[in-house]
Amino acid sequence: MNKKMSLTTKIFIGLIVGLIIGLILNQMGPSDFRDKFLVNGLFTLVGNVFLNSINMVVVPLVFVSIANGAASITDIRKLGRVGSKTILFYLVTTAVAITIAMVLSIVVKPGLGLDMSSLVKTEPTIAAAKPLVEVITDMIPKNPVAAMANGVMLQIIVFALLIGVGLATLGEKVKSIVNIFEQLNELMMKMVGMVMILAPYGVLCLIAKTFTGLGFDAMVPLLKYMICVLVALALHAGITYSGLLVIFTKLNPITFFKKFAPAMGVAFSTASSNATLPVTLETVEENLGVNKSIASFTIPLGATINMDGTAIMQGAATIFISQLYGIELGMGALLTVILTATLASIGTAGVPGVGLIMLSMVLQAVGLPVEGIALIIGIDRILDMSRTAINITGDAICTIIVAKSEGEFDEKVYNSAVVEKSIA
Ligand code: ASP
């Protein structure tokens, strides 16, 4: 925890230092030292080593974590009805979340007015709008190895999901393979940790490079992007979650937010759904009146596969980056973003920063330059904290709705005064 906090501080310092260096170099004007040695030399070297390292872990990470996540779904079959309701709720709310974020970003246009295509050599292309039939057939890999070699994310996800379902169905017979996947998952998380050691330096160089080229102009779009994400998170909580709660349970959403706030606070400060899990569970059971039998199943599952806040960031970031590079996304591409980000949320681990790594997969799925992440990674921590609070809120709302429909909910506890003692 301490180590993570210090990495966060380092990334933040990297961002500020990079920003200052970039702005100074921008004011200094062109010189061999600036352009050849720093921008195209040192900054490009360190920045690209960092970007390549992120890319390196994406394919194995997605494959292993999705297969592993799906393999652990054996319990859902047992729980039958509860399982399908929960998963349906998680998937639908995630898709709604991305849609809100994308619509907001398309309307606000945070990325307009800043021309990144001049900085990075990417051909400004129009991502072709594929017909829906093709979008769906293209999800099935003819050759899974080729899909992995070429980083075709949707195909990798489908393959991984099928492997996971197969493992779950075979159960005991393939226990050792399931164990291997669990261990590989640990290994991948370790590798993410190793790559993140580079993050402060990578961020410093990438931000310095960006701001040398763009000067103060780059700051306004970045702020607009942040506001887009934060507003979309607020809308999702205030409209989608509150609306669902009222429609399905007739409970008062204000009571919910009052009593769930401590858990949101922990999620905000740790930026980790996993780390918040014990507090989420306790709050939902003790403060909100959900029976243990439901909460102990839906909350851990949600912390693993339900990431609406992360999906909001991915939706907004994808539109933002497409605007920065002047690449238009057609209807087919937007649909692909919804699909990929929804599925990516299954594979996003509930730990800090993984959502941003998964973003590179969403970008690749619609042919956007992964370099765009460079601009947003510096400010991502504050968004990570905010989206994690929403991630766990989605788990809690779903849990209450499912519990109420199953008669496993105590409305008296929900409406009672807040129990202060429950959060240590
Ligand atoms: N930090 C998020 C969580 O734990 C995941 C992410 O978006 O990076 O829920």
Quickly list H helices, 72-218: 74-108, 132-137, 144-149, 153-170, 175-197, 199-214
One pLDDT digit (tens) per residue for the chain, 424 residues: 444 456 667 777 887 898 899 889 988 888 888 889 999 999 999 988 987 887 787 778 778 877 876 676 565 555 567 778 888 999 999 999 999 999 999 998 887 766 666 555 444 333 444 455 666 787 799 999 999 998 776 688 789 878 988 888 888 899 999 999 989 988 987 887 788 788 789 878 887 887 787 677 667 788 889 999 999 999 999 999 999 999 999 999 999 998 888 788 878 867 788 778 777 878 898 889 998 777 777 887 788 788 999 999 999 999 999 998 888 888 888 998 998 888 877 767 777 788 888 888 888 888 888 888 877 887 787 788 899 999 999 999 999 999 898 888 899 999 987 544 443 3
Decide if 114 contacts 372 (C-beta within 8 A). no
Rounded distance between C-alpha atoms, residue 375 and residue 368, angstroms: 14
Q: How many angstroms separate the alpha carbon of residue 170 from the centre of ligand 1?
A: 31
Rounded distance between C-alpha atoms, residue 248 and residue 71, angstroms: 30
Rounded distance between C-alpha atoms, residue 390 and residue 237, angstroms: 7
Q: Which of 266, 310, 342 to mutate to test the pocket of ligand 1 (most atoms within 8 A of CB)?
A: 310
CATH number 3.20.20.220 is the correct assignment for the domain at 7-415 = no
Decide if 322 contacts 329 (C-beta within 8 A). yes
Domain ranges of the chain: 7-415
Rounded distance between C-alpha atoms, residue 80 and residue 400, angstroms: 17
Residue 146: other Cβ atoms inside 10 A? 11
Q: How many angstroms separate the alpha carbon of residue 215 from the centre of ligand 1?
A: 31
Rounded distance between C-alpha atoms, residue 257 and residue 274, angstroms: 20
Residue 364: other Cβ atoms inside 10 A? 20
Residue 198: which residues within 8 A CB-CB, separation 6 or more? 49, 50, 53
DSSP single-letter state for residue 418: P
Closest atom, ligand 1, to C-alpha of 303: 9
Classify burial at 269, counting beta carbons within 10 Å of its beta carbon; exposed 0-12, middle 13-18, buried 19 or more: middle
Q: In residues, how long is the chain?
A: 424
Closest atom, ligand 1, to C-alpha of 309: 7
